[in-house]
Structure 1
Amino acid sequence: MAQDGAHHHGDRTTTPPPPLPHQRPPGRTSGVPVFDLPAWASAPRPEAEPGIYRLGYRQVDPERAEAAQVAAWPLLLRAAINALVGWFAYLYGTQLLTYVLVWFGGQMGIGPLASPSESEAMFTLLVANAFVIGVAIKLFGRMGRWPEVWRRYVAPLLSRTVTQEERAEEGAAAVEAVRQLDPWAGLRQGGAAAAAGRLDGEAVGDVDYVRIQRAWESAQADPVFVPAFVEQVAARGAAAFAHPSEARELPGRAERHDLLLRQVCLGTSQDVPKNPLPHRAAGFALDPAVLGTSLLAVGPAGTGKTARLARPVAEALCLQALAGTACAVVIGAGDADLGPDGWYDVVIAPGDPASVYGLDLYGAARDPDEAAARLAEALLPDELTARAESARTALQQVVGPFHAAHRRYPGVRELRALLGGEPDALAALVKALGAAGRLGAYERDLEHRERQRGRADDPGALLADRLALLDRPAFEGAFATDGTGRPPFAMRVLDHPLRVRVKLPERSHPEAARMLSRLVVGQFVQAAGAREDHSLFAGLVVDDASAALDAATVRGVQRMRGANAGAVLLLRTLVDLPEALRAPLFGAVGCRMAFPGIAPWDGRLFSEAWGTHLVQETAVTHTPDTSGGVIRRAGRLGRKALSGTTAQTESVTTRDVERLRWSPSDLAHALPAGHAVVSLTAVSGEQVPPLLVDLRG
């Protein structure tokens, strides 16, 4: 690998939803591909709010949803009563209308029965009967909710007893019609019929389809590239324009994905009144449109943050990288279940002798001063952030001169020696600067560093002590800058569809892991905002972000919205963060997720961020009845003597009041296991209020 990090190798209704096509190539059965590309590519994906899994989604009719809330026996009782009353209304209404028509015709000489023939009279009476029947059905059918009874009970019964076979045949015909649709129609119409013909005869998965379609869209931007596109597809078929790793699928892929919309389905929004109507019983999904505002998830260990959020999102980003639409950086402990190493192109595991790649400690910087500033912020612990400015200056005073003298950045041991003020290291640096003709530019920095040496408040000694945590035998060659160690990965390559996994040595070197976590996250934020090409979505997943965040990173997370980048940050509790960072972090992210068992003080921040909404509150007041005269009062006295209860009047008051969407107590104690409450904000600004989501299936 090169120094820059390049890679070698609705409410529920009674009508069931239609069966979905295969959503991924699950493999082969007897050598025959089971992925149905035409059905998958042409499956319905209606427009929907953010957070809804659109593949196979059926929009909810609000009127039907409201009617479906009525229980069965009250619905049927009301329908029967209205049918009985409607029957009597028809009988007596027909007689009344007939009498009125006859009276007006005989007495007044006006109307259709003034001087009718027998056929005309019969026709008039039939029309009168039809009119009364229509009025009765319209009036009493509406009050009795007969359409809902038909939809719930009569129509399904008729479907099962009369038309089951025909409906099955119609459904099979519809599925067959969908399969006849041509997924490569755009290629044929655009002059790439030869490429489409080659693809017709191959097993094409969803990753292949999205990748080839993206290449075709790029080729259409300039007709000159169309022949090259056809040549590539004709030569390689479904493997055309493959990822640099030549991988076309992830091993052990398990989640539901729709790569056409770049969605991953995490669970199901619950059918409860707290959830907005369009989301109820619909699939819950994340995509770059909402991940672009970043997501903060808080919950204790064991609640499913890694297995039900971090791993599925990492899987989705890796698939999108294979399709050429994203790049992924996933950070977590070495034993965190964030997918096998086969998912990733670059696996960085400091402290593991078997690790192939190292880490460039200055990887996202555009100049030495920026590199030194980011490294200083990562080295300092939270309790010493007040000395961050002096630490940045001290590091810049040695990194800049070293880079000017040697045209590279110092390694960990070299940097530690310079910060510690070792005479031999400083003398060698002065000599190298003189040989390079740059001593005059950096002489004042070196003199200032020399004056600081030995003082009690020297930030260089503090930084040298912190660097000693990385200058361990276990990290030998992991951070080399002179070409003698492992090939270092540099974060500035986020404009390529790379998949990167950083394994932190949390068990063997916990403090070093904290520093590396903060360094890598800070580099990602820097690199994502500095990219010139924003066509790829840059996704970051941090399994434990408690040590990875500082004030500069929080500000950078907010700026990533406009850079087509986003982060998924997982925390066990907000108490792990400095108090000064908690409110800014909540304001910087657009999506917030609370898991069961969070502490009430954590729930308070979520509750405040989600705010209040108007609800109808009904108050019932009972007061002693003192109305009426002597007789009524005597009756009430007798009733009290016999029953022991006082007669009361009841008054009902309904008003709109503001209530918290989710109270801290509800979040801490009322969430069921396997569920979460999540609010979303899209990059476009569209917001989704908190949803109760079941993440178990």
Structure 2
Amino acid sequence: MVRACTSIVCTWFVWSLIYYGYLGFGWYVPLEYVLDNLTDVSKSRWIVRVYEVLLLGLVAMFFGWLGGWRQVWRRYAAPALKRLWDDPAPEQLGPASPGGPALWSELRAAGAHAAADRLVSDARSGSMNDVDFVRIAHVWAMVRIGRMPMADFTDTVLRLGAAAWTHPSGARDLPQRTAAHDLMTGQVRIGTVVQGPGDTPARGGFGLALSPAELGTSALAIGPSRSGKTSQLVRPVTEALCLQALARTATIITVGTGTEPAVPDDAFDIIIRLGDPRSLRDFDIYGGTHDSQQAASILAEALVGDLTSTVGPIAHSVPRAATALAELLGPFRAVHHRFPQVPELQELLSGNQDAIDSLRNALEAAGQDAYLRVLDKSSRETNAGEIIRALLRDRIAILEPLLAPRTHARPFLLGAALQEPQRIRIDLPTSGLAEASDVAARLVLAQFNIYAATRPDQTAFAFLVLDVAARAITTGSLHGVQRLRSAHAGVLLTLQLLDDIAESLHFPLLETVGCLVCWPGLSPRDTQRINDKRPNPYLTSSTPSDLSLVSMPSDHKNMAAPFLARLHS
């Protein structure tokens, strides 16, 4: 709209310059030729007016193209005129009138006329917004599949109306919306489709939107620093998922540096600031699992998942690290009924004799002979095993300043958080502790991959926005992201360059994600790699422009791969 209004002002300004001769009178040379050869002088005034209208039309067409007037007409003016022409007056819509979803015809068909009347009344009075509508519609879907009694639904609606089943935070909307949302379909608009090679003219000028159907295939955004990844993609997607969380249809976790958060603090239920002593929540390194093998796998992926060597003492480091950790986590949990905290794990990995003896005595007192043998086995490691344990010890020591537990902070369990529609933000340190931040980012991604895929209830969409993905992407994490597609979950990863990750991960990453968004300023090497794996006529050079490639899953009925989107609009 701002662009369209600006172009209107420019049209008026340029036409004034032409009309009053500030740009010369060369525009009227064709008119003078016509008037000189005119035999009927009485028609001259009408010819002048028609010529001026044509000239004004050319100026308006030019600035209308720049300002997107065609799109404004399609999105705003045409629907408004259609509603004014076609819709009946409000008083004509009786309680039993058939029609769209806002009349709750499904409730009436099921016999819940009183509940439908209450919801229609709240909508007409303005006390119901789109978040309320989607939230109640979601609960009604649970009734239809037998997960909630009809009587409970009707009673709650009659008592609370549009405020029924409000999000635990009590919020029914975000403090501010910066993007165009359609919560009925779960879509958020990210740009405008531009007609290009292979596209039909019907697509040109229409908005391009993302929904859980596309985000569930996971997304990768590549572009230089300050190219607009946050403002043009991360922010609208985060905002959309926060709204869907308020409607109880999604859970979102965002991970970033926290310096310039895409969405303000008051849009989240939980904010965890790693390494900040003022943070009210601690991040649990195990995510709340009670399985020592699963806990060891998560930690191994986070601590050594970035090591890609296939030869030497650190070859196959992740499974070997998982085994070494399980040999300590299992015995510790058997006697303490919990996993060791970061300082305790650091002592066990470093071979602190007092810590080992204390654990051994506790196992003997509890009669845990099997775990005693596991502990004794871990103390007889080979040289290669000692190298892995030394590496784990060093990485845990790096991680300790960020994740050491504090007495005043409540632990945050990511596995439990995914069971509820929550809005969670995790801020990594803005300066210093860079390696610890990398390990923490891998830890969050590893936990999300496991817990999102193994949720007992996968009705709500689970999504992770990882705005610092360069060192978090590993072979193991990519395998985990692939499993999210069938678990109603997905991730959004952002990179500045493909070279920020190991070269062996370039093609696996491009194969794993279903959505690819590229910003101007890509290096020629990145352009070539992307075209080699996902050929596209739009991505042909690294010349900066205002156009970016948006490649969507080709099997989705409402999306076609690829689209060219103007993300600045």
TM-score range, shorter chain: 0.7 to 0.9
TM-score, normalising length: structure 1: 0.64
Q: 1:191/1:335 Cα in 2 relative to 1: closer, same or farther (>3 Å)? A: same
| Contact 2:241–2:251 (CA under 8 A) maintained in structure 1 | yes
Q: Which residue of 2 aligns with 1:66?
A: none
Amino acid across the alignment from 2:366:
A
Distance, in Å, in 1 between the alignment partners of 2:82 and 2:437 is 60
Q: Which residue of 1 aligns with 2:53?
A: none
Residue 292 of structure 1: how far off its partner (Å): 1.1
Partner SS, residue 230 of structure 1 = helix
The reply to whether residue 471 of structure 1 matches residue 344 of structure 2 is no
Q: 1:437/1:492 Cα in 2 relative to 1: closer, same or farther (>3 Å)? A: same
Partner SS, residue 103 of structure 2 = coil
Amino acid across the alignment from 1:391:
A
Stretch deviating more after TM superposition (264-273 or 579-588): 264-273
Distance, in Å, in 1 between the alignment partners of 2:194 and 2:81 is 33
The reply to whether residue 571 of structure 1 matches residue 483 of structure 2 is no
Amino acid across the alignment from 2:537:
R
Q: 2:538 aligns with which of 653, 662, 667?
A: 662
The reply to whether residue 389 of structure 1 matches residue 319 of structure 2 is yes
Distance, in Å, in 2 between the alignment partners of 1:168 and 1:224 is 38
Residue 581 of structure 1: how far off its partner (Å): 1.1
| Contact 2:342–2:404 (CA under 8 A) maintained in structure 1 | no
Amino acid across the alignment from 2:538:
W
The reply to whether residue 415 of structure 1 matches residue 345 of structure 2 is yes
Q: Which residue of 2 aligns with 1:84?
A: none
Distance, in Å, in 2 between the alignment partners of 1:320 and 1:183 is 21
Q: 1:335/1:175 Cα in 2 relative to 1: closer, same or farther (>3 Å)? A: farther
Q: 1:433 aligns with which of 351, 359, 363?
A: 363
The reply to whether residue 172 of structure 1 matches residue 84 of structure 2 is yes
Residue 664 of structure 1: how far off its partner (Å): 4.2
The reply to whether residue 371 of structure 1 matches residue 291 of structure 2 is no
Q: Which residue of 2 aligns with 1:449?
A: 378
Q: 1:224/1:548 Cα in 2 relative to 1: closer, same or farther (>3 Å)? A: closer
Q: 1:259 aligns with which of 180, 183, 191?
A: 183
Partner SS, residue 375 of structure 2 = helix
Q: 1:178/1:547 Cα in 2 relative to 1: closer, same or farther (>3 Å)? A: farther
Amino acid across the alignment from 2:446:
G
Stretch deviating more after TM superposition (333-342 or 405-414): 333-342
Partner SS, residue 165 of structure 2 = coil
Q: 1:384/1:411 Cα in 2 relative to 1: closer, same or farther (>3 Å)? A: farther
Q: 5+ residue gaps in structure 2?
A: 1-78, 94-98, 310-314
Distance, in Å, in 1 between the alignment partners of 2:145 and 2:223 is 46
Q: 1:460/1:206 Cα in 2 relative to 1: closer, same or farther (>3 Å)? A: same
How do residues 577-596 of structure 1 correspond to structure 2 at under 5 angstroms? 577-596=501-520
1:134-172: CA deviations, max 9, x gaps? xxxxxxxxxxxxxxxxxxxxxxxxxxxxxxxxx999862
Distance, in Å, in 1 between the alignment partners of 2:397 and 2:470 is 22
Q: 1:691 aligns with which of 535, 558, 563?
A: 563
Residue 559 of structure 1: how far off its partner (Å): 1.5
Q: 1:450/1:223 Cα in 2 relative to 1: closer, same or farther (>3 Å)? A: closer
Q: 1:305/1:446 Cα in 2 relative to 1: closer, same or farther (>3 Å)? A: same
Q: 1:419/1:238 Cα in 2 relative to 1: closer, same or farther (>3 Å)? A: same
| Contact 2:279–2:409 (CA under 8 A) maintained in structure 1 | no
Partner SS, residue 170 of structure 2 = coil
Q: Which residue of 1 aligns with 2:451?
A: 527
Residue 374 of structure 1: how far off its partner (Å): 1.6
| Contact 1:679–1:691 (CA under 8 A) maintained in structure 2 | yes
Amino acid across the alignment from 1:193:
H
Q: 1:366/1:274 Cα in 2 relative to 1: closer, same or farther (>3 Å)? A: farther
Aligned residues: 473
Q: Which residue of 2 aligns with 1:672?
A: 545
Q: Which residue of 1 aligns with 2:442?
A: 518
| Contact 1:399–1:409 (CA under 8 A) maintained in structure 2 | yes
Partner SS, residue 338 of structure 1 = coil
| Contact 2:341–2:404 (CA under 8 A) maintained in structure 1 | no
Amino acid across the alignment from 2:370:
A
Q: Which residue of 1 aligns with 2:110?
A: 190
Q: Which residue of 2 aligns with 1:106?
A: none
Amino acid across the alignment from 1:306:
T
How do residues 153-302 of structure 1 correspond to structure 2 at under 5 angstroms? 172-176=84-88, 180=93, 183-199=103-119, 200-201=121-122, 202=125, 203-222=127-146, 225-302=149-226
Distance, in Å, in 2 between the alignment partners of 1:372 and 1:506 is 28
Amino acid across the alignment from 2:112:
A
Q: Percent identity?
A: 39
Distance, in Å, in 2 between the alignment partners of 1:223 and 1:602 is 49
Distance, in Å, in 2 between the alignment partners of 1:223 and 1:412 is 41
Distance, in Å, in 1 between the alignment partners of 2:174 and 2:258 is 20
Amino acid across the alignment from 2:387:
D
Partner SS, residue 352 of structure 1 = coil
Distance, in Å, in 2 between the alignment partners of 1:682 and 1:434 is 60
Partner SS, residue 231 of structure 2 = helix
1:77-115: CA deviations, max 9, x gaps? xxxxxxxxxxxxxxxxxxxxxxxxxxxxxxxxxxxxxxx
Q: 1:268/1:468 Cα in 2 relative to 1: closer, same or farther (>3 Å)? A: same
Distance, in Å, in 1 between the alignment partners of 2:457 and 2:83 is 46
Structure ID, larger Rg: 1
Distance, in Å, in 1 between the alignment partners of 2:114 and 2:483 is 45
| Contact 2:305–2:475 (CA under 8 A) maintained in structure 1 | no
Partner SS, residue 681 of structure 1 = coil
The reply to whether residue 322 of structure 1 matches residue 250 of structure 2 is no
Q: 1:435/1:169 Cα in 2 relative to 1: closer, same or farther (>3 Å)? A: closer
Residue 492 of structure 1: how far off its partner (Å): 4.2
Stretch deviating more after TM superposition (197-206 or 293-302): 197-206
| Contact 2:324–2:378 (CA under 8 A) maintained in structure 1 | yes
| Contact 1:610–1:661 (CA under 8 A) maintained in structure 2 | no
Q: 1:290/1:366 Cα in 2 relative to 1: closer, same or farther (>3 Å)? A: farther
Distance, in Å, in 2 between the alignment partners of 1:226 and 1:571 is 48
Q: Which residue of 1 aligns with 2:467?
A: 543
Stretch deviating more after TM superposition (229-238 or 216-225): 216-225
| Contact 2:550–2:563 (CA under 8 A) maintained in structure 1 | yes
